[in-house]
Structure 1
Amino acid sequence: MLIGALLRVPAQAIQRRLIKGLNAAGFDELRLPHMAVLQFPGPDGARPGTIAERAGMSKQAINQLLRSLESFGYIVRSDVPGEGSARIVRLTERGHAAFSEMVDILRDIEDEWRAELGPERFTQLKGLLFVVWDSPLAR
């Protein structure tokens, strides 16, 4: 099997686990598509176009997700002073709480993977993924 497919499987499993955990923690409105906006490093302080680029989605699709998250009280969009029609996204208190919960869930997942793989193999895997993430291969 190709590496792209192999890497997609755990990424999708992690996203499903995040949504399940967030829903259980009271963030009932969040669904898998919202992960395109909430993924690391998060939308706080970013422009919609930047969020769209990170997610590999069109600005129109991201704006639809932003409208959804705004209606649920996770984000607000505001004008950038002195920059015409430019907008910036900010997490609300509820958005920060959800993002904090995501970090806790991700730490739990890492702990489980570390226990399953063993500390040495887990550290090797994380190191390898970081090298790929920080290399021209990821661009």
Structure 2
Amino acid sequence: MSEVKRLPAAEPHLPMMMGMVFARVRERLAAEAPELRPSQLRVLEWLPPEGLTITELAECAEMSTQGCGQFVRQLDALGMVEVAVAAHDARARRVRITDRGRAALARSAEVLRACDEAWADQVGPERYRVFREVLAEVALGGAGESAVGEQSGSARGSVRPSG
């Protein structure tokens, strides 16, 4: 059976094209860094070394506290995070990344870097650099260039831990 190259009947809009790109990224992550699903990676990559409460993490990841709590439970069961009572409030839980979580993040970052390199090869390094700058400007509302180069992840969130 031959592979069919499917193209949309309508002119592709941005969300459709982004979905196509995300599908490729998900496939590559599943093959090369299977320990985390992209949805789990989305939560884990917001954790600075000192940790965040679930509420702070949910705000950073732009999700509900309940949904974030479900991801935190999954990540805890995988040994990617540790959850403890927050020092400032016995009702709150502070989430910190573990060595296993850092290793999974590093592997995922390598896969994502390889995707960047492949796309830069496909369209040319200068066009890809401009694409990333424009995308960062649109996505981050002008905070773009400095955030795109940020590799550690510890300065990305606007929410910082309290107490």
Aligned equivalent of 1:7: 18
Q: Are the counterparts in 2 of residues 16 and 32 from structure 1 also a CA contact under 8 Å?
A: no
SS in 2 for 1:88: strand
Return closer, same or farther for 1:59/1:8 CA change in 2, 3 Å cut-off. Answer: same
Q: TM-score, normalised by structure 1?
A: 0.78
- Choose which of 31, 41, 46 in structure 2 pairs with 1:42: 46
Q: Are the counterparts in 2 of residues 15 and 35 from structure 1 also a CA contact under 8 Å?
A: no
Is the aligned partner of 1:90 residue 2:90? no
Q: TM-score, normalised by structure 2?
A: 0.68
Write out the 4+ residue segments of structure 1 that deviate beyond 6 Å after TM superposition. Answer: none
Is 89-98 or 8-17 further displaced after alignment?
8-17
Q: Are the counterparts in 1 of residues 46 and 60 from structure 2 also a CA contact under 8 Å?
A: no
Q: Structure 2: state its 5+ residue gaps.
A: 1-11, 143-163
Could you tell me the percent identity over the aligned residues? 27
Return closer, same or farther for 1:65/1:8 CA change in 2, 3 Å cut-off. Answer: same
Structure 1 CA distance for aligned equivalents of residues 31 and 56 of structure 2: 27
Q: Structure 1: state its 5+ residue gaps.
A: none
For residues 19-73 of structure 1, the C-alpha deviation after alignment (integer angstroms, 9 at most, x for no partner) is: 33212xxx3xx334423423xx433412222333344433222212211111111
For residues 76-105 of structure 1, the C-alpha deviation after alignment (integer angstroms, 9 at most, x for no partner) is: 111221223122211111001001111111
Q: Provide the alpha-carbon RMSD of the alignment.
A: 2.3
